[in-house]
Amino acid sequence: MQKKYLFSIALLITTFNFISAQQTDNIPGNIIVMLHSNTEMDDFVSTLQKVGGIKTSFKMERMLSKSMHIMLFDFDAATMNQDRMLEAVKANPLTVLAQFNYKTKERVNPPNDPNYVNGNMWDMNNTGQNGGANDADIDAPEAWDITTGGLTAQGDTIVVAVVDGGFDLTQQDLNFWKNRHEIPGNGIDDDGNGYIDDVKGWNTATGNDNITSAQHGTHVCGTVGARGNNGIGVTGVNWNVRIMPVMYGNAQDADVVVAYSYVMDNRRLYNQTNGVKGAFVVATNSSFGIDLAQPSAHPLWCAMYDSLGSVGILSACATANANYNIDTQGDIPTACTSSFMIAVTNTTRTDAKNSSCGYGASTIDLGSPGTEITSTLPGNTYGGTTWTGTSMATPHVAGCVALMYSVQCAKFIADAKLYPSSVALIVRDSLLGAVDIIPSMSAGVTASGGRLNLFKSVKSIQNYCLEPISRAGIVDNGWADSELEIQNVFPNPATDMINLVYNSYQTVEIVFMDVLGQEIKRSKGDTTTKGIQHSHIDVSGIARGVYFVSIRTSERKSNVVKVVIQ
């Protein structure tokens, strides 16, 4: 046993020496040292002020950890070989461990696409280029260090459906969805999704997959998901997402219903066949609409968003390119009231609201970069300076939804499969809760008060996986602060009751909420005891899905506990 221990130490020292020899980003003249406890500093320093017969300037710079006896030392690297000094420090009998002081760097993952590298894509990374404001962007490089999109944690191919006027399916920088379960040209609905020969997508005017080219739709697709880090053109919010092209044909309400139905039917088929057929569509993008229109005149259009949401699809929608209040003057679709629709307005490279776009404290959810946006165009070309509008802002949001689904969190995607509509609302709520609050989007302009932040949105899904989970039929364990602590939540298999165990020294109220934080029911807690208390929540009649519980007193409330009703 002792020989094994000594061998391990020798191997460790060899590894340290190898790393030191390979790395070159250390700070000259800096060595970090852990000393044995009760070491006399003067003794240690004096033994190292002369190394190999050479006088050195070795001295302590500052204490790094008093409890662990770790200090930063400094010497003149111009007069003393650094490797030699480090070896001398390691050889000192008072030393436990020693190393150079290396520089760190942010672990960002920038793509090599030319328009990104040369700074044209300020929306993704704004360093103040071309009159912009530093960080007035969606924090894309930080998000790409977590995920670049494409697949879920279970290997599902993520799809965004873009409903628009046309698409260049041969654009080299775009990755379009193909219906691999449909045989082209045989006149048969091979996959059973209700559409014949829909290999390339759907054209609502012609009733087939005849997709024709157009600039607007091609530009929108590039922002959602142009291939990233492939050395050409631009990069999208997602680097690997598939785009389902759906043409709205004659651009009438009837065509909108057909277009959304096609998307919904493919996602429903995916849900029903456990991914064997259909498409895992998580978002639609709609950069079109009707100015000054009221939802009361378009009930079927508005109803489509709840229908899409029922199978797990969020819809990003562009508001009007006109400076008026959508709350009072209306717009279709962004005045629709569905919780599954995200209404988007346009921000500039200085984080201002573009003067030619709609706003609304209750109807418009957030802002997103939409002014002078560089993206894909037909014929393997690219454009930017003249492409401005809420049409350009919205695909950032649709792309963000797709990127959130690509976070490698197995629990998240498992819940998304079981409860697609509930988890879609969690994604929406997380995205809106992760915005950067900026003055131009506050004070009656948007409901969230902020501009899209891709990194924080993706991070919120990572945090979903950090919740302590112990599923037993209905529920997950939760936590709260020590003064108002939920200790456990578990189902009673004989009834429709959830048993709640918590620690409180006051009378509490128990609040049962949906994923948007809307209260469903409230009940009084146990008032007969102080300390550990037991209460029950009757969930009979409540639909399956994801819910939250908190306990509250007049002074404080606990953190929420996630409850899954199966």
Q: What is the structure's pLDDT at 34?
A: 92
Q: What is the structure's pLDDT at 519?
A: 84
* Reported CATH class of domain 126-464: alpha beta
pLDDT digits (tens, 9 = 90+) for 105-128: 555 568 999 999 999 999 999 999
CA atoms of 59 and 553, how far apart (whole Å): 56
Q: What is the structure's pLDDT at 478?
A: 35
What six digits make up the tokens of 21?
A: 């020899």
The contacts of residue 61 (CB under 8 Å, 6+ apart) are: 30, 71, 72, 73, 74
Q: What is the structure's pLDDT at 7?
A: 17
**How much of the chain exceeds pLDDT 70, in percent?**
84
In sequence order, what are the beta bridge partners of 382? Answer: 376
* Closest CA relative to residue 432, chosen from 467, 466, 397: 397
* Closest CA relative to residue 158, chosen from 239, 235, 223: 239
pTM: 0.73
Q: What is the structure's pLDDT at 25?
A: 73
Q: Which amino acid is at 93?
A: P
Which CATH architecture does the domain made up of 22-102 adopt? 2-Layer Sandwich (3.30)
Q: What is the structure's pLDDT at 182?
A: 97
Q: Answer whether 124's CB lies under 8 Å from 108's CB.
A: no
Q: What is the structure's pLDDT at 56?
A: 83
Q: What is the structure's pLDDT at 129?
A: 96
Q: What is the structure's pLDDT at 3?
A: 19
Residues of the chain with pLDDT under 50: 1-23, 467-483
* Reported CATH class of domain 485-565: mainly beta
User: For the chain, what are the domain ranges?
Assistant: 22-102, 126-464, 485-565
Sign of CA dihedral 404, 405, 407, 412: positive
* Closest CA relative to residue 363, chosen from 346, 380, 343: 343
| Cα 208–chain centre separation | 34
If you compute the radius of gyration of the chain from its CA atoms, what whole number of angstroms results? Answer: 29
* Closest CA relative to residue 446, chosen from 371, 368, 516, 329: 368
State the virtual CA torsion across 186, 167, 334, 443 in degrees, nearest 10: 150
CA atoms of 178 and 89, how far apart (whole Å): 63
Cβ burial 178-215 (10 Å sphere, 16+ → b, else e): bbebbeeeeeeebbebebebbbbbbbbeeebbebebbb
Q: Answer whether 396's CB lies under 8 Å from 223's CB.
A: yes
